[in-house]
Amino acid sequence: MKPTGTDPRILSLAAEVAKSPEQNVPVILLKLKEIISNTPFGSSELKKIKQDIYCYDLIQYCLLVLSQDCSRIQGGWTTISQLSQILSHCCVGLEPGEDAEEFYNELLPSAAENFLVLGIRLQTCFINAAKGEEKDELLHFFQIVTDSLSWLLGGHVQLIQNVLQSDRFLYLLQTDNVQIGSTVMTMLQNILQINSGDLLRIEGKTLHSILDEVVFKLLSTPSPVIRSTATKLLLLMAESHPEILILLRLSACCEGLRSLLNKQEIGTEFSEELRQLVGLLSLKTYQEVEEQKLHQAACLIQAYWKGFQTRQRLKKLPSAVIALQRSFRSKRKKMLLKLNRKKEEEDLRLRLQLQRQRAMRLSRELRLSMLEIVHPGQVEKHNREMEEKSALIIQKHWRGYRERKNFHQQRPSLTEYKAAVTLQRAALKFLAKCHKKKKLFAPWRGLQELTDARRVELKQQVDDYIRRHSGPEMSDVASRELHVQAQERLQHYFMSRALEERSQQHREALMAQISTNIEQLTKAPSLKESEGKEPELFLSRSRPVAAKAKQAHLTTLKHIQAPWWKKLGEEPGDGIDVPKDELSVELGTLFIGGTKPP
């Protein structure tokens, strides 16, 4: 959806880009520079203008123009350099909103890569140029492109790692031209000043290549500009990261730097910077010896490990070749299938498009013919009805999209709620079973404890009862036997009560099952009208019921198959006796234990 309150300048520019031919688009996009420059830097109005530029795809147009050939663009490198400035200024400080993933993962990396490609093209044109004025102009354009890339990386620090790992950046750094090399190293210095931590996150091979190229330019280039820039760059790397200082110490550049220091005049700025770098590299000589030993040990371990890996790889080479051939053939087969499928889908899409066009053309012709039939006074009413129908359709689709989106957003919370309800239900059932078991096997635990006064009162009542109902005296042996009998009867009582409770529960469950089956059978449709799983309602898990159903079924079949003259004297409701042998034959084939007949 397009934003509300869009700047009219952006609207007119977007409309002009959409209507103009392709060769005029770059010149039209240059008007963005005037719009951005006339807006105060850092203001909310500038942020709103950048959002409008992104929403109307003007940034994407700039990116497409930068990827085109320079000879096809009106204005050449001048237009391209200005568009690179516009693109970097539009991307920095932009808040994409809903399209943030596409902006950060696709558009920004593509823009940084396009800047590097432009730099390589300008480097090639600069080297091939013959005139001095043309070279100065191309160098100016190259500096504009590098400044635009530095501005983009300053606003989006996450792109620094992608730029440092790019082969195109390493290609620009490896140039032999003094001016281009100085500009690229200055850009690298600016990048590291923005965020030097990304230097250690790149691959080791790329880091070694960058360090080797900077050291090579320092030692082999006679230009003082290149040497000064390379020295500052190495000082920045060494002071920021001790790991890079260790790599420089392990390399063979210290002696070359000392010899270069001896050749320089004392007191110059370059000699002071070079002396600082040599001092960093020559600190703690004993540590260098230890590092060399560690380096040799690491080389020895790597040699043994690489030899072991090579031998293992040679052993697995035949199977690896077979697997590679199989993988290549399967991949080629999948690719061919994918191409064929893509071609079929394209043909189908074209056919569907033609069908839609024909249907649209027929509908429009039909609408025109209907409009010709309609009275002129009813045309406005007809148009109003069509507009209302269209608005209803649009509202219906939009509300459906909104509800689906809300449902997808609420689905995780709904799943969590259902899972919580299920867990709570299971936990409550488990606690209820545990409480029931405790209550069943220890019914006396629920009784209230007796107080001392109550005990004294009960003891007094027992003594009074014994005094009033004095019985024959019993010996100790008889009292013990009587006590044992009482305990046995009490234990028998508790066991029988538990069995009775279980049987009562079983009876209640059977009654509930029978009532449920009766309710399902009364509400179920007839067998002729049943569909799907409705016949399963007529199944029974009881064997006597199944036998009775078998008997009734055989009785009905025999009554139907009997000749007419045997039915003359029968009353409605008379049954036919079925032998038990026929009833017991294949009894498991119909309504046995709730199973279906085969």
| Domain positions in the chain | 8-284, 378-405, 538-565+572-589
Alpha-carbon distance of 256 to 262, in angstroms, equals: 10
Per residue of the chain (598 residues), give pLDDT as tens: 455 567 788 778 778 777 877 777 777 777 777 777 777 777 777 788 877 777 877 778 787 777 777 777 777 778 888 878 787 888 887 777 777 788 778 888 888 888 888 888 887 887 777 667 777 788 788 888 888 888 877 778 787 777 777 888 778 777 777 778 778 778 877 777 777 666 666 777 777 777 777 777 777 777 777 777 777 777 777 666 666 666 666 554 545 555 555 455 444 445 566 666 666 565 554 365 457 668 878 888 999 999 998 888 888 888 888 888 999 999 999 999 999 999 999 999 999 999 999 998 998 888 778 777 767 777 788 788 888 998 999 999 999 999 988 888 888 888 888 888 899 999 999 999 888 887 776 655 555 667 888 888 988 998 888 888 776 677 888 888 888 898 898 888 888 888 888 888 888 888 887 787 777 777 766 666 666 666 666 666 667 777 887 888 888 888 888 877 777 666 555 555 555 554 444 444 333 334 333 3
- Within 13 Å, how many C-alpha atoms sit on residue 460's CB side? 6
**Full DSSP string of 266-321:** TT-HHHHHHHHHHHHHTS-HHHHHHHHHHHHHHHHHHHHHHHHHHHHHHHTHHHHH
CATH 1.25.10.10 for domain 8-284: yes
pLDDT at site 592 = 37
pLDDT at site 174 = 76
| Residues ≥6 apart with Cβ < 8 Å to 582 | 554
pLDDT at site 352 = 92
| Runs of H (alpha helix) within 8-107 | 8-19, 25-29, 31-37, 44-55, 58-66, 77-91, 100-102
Tokens of 216: 């090579």
**Cα dihedral angle (392, 397, 403, 404), rounded to 10 degrees?**
160
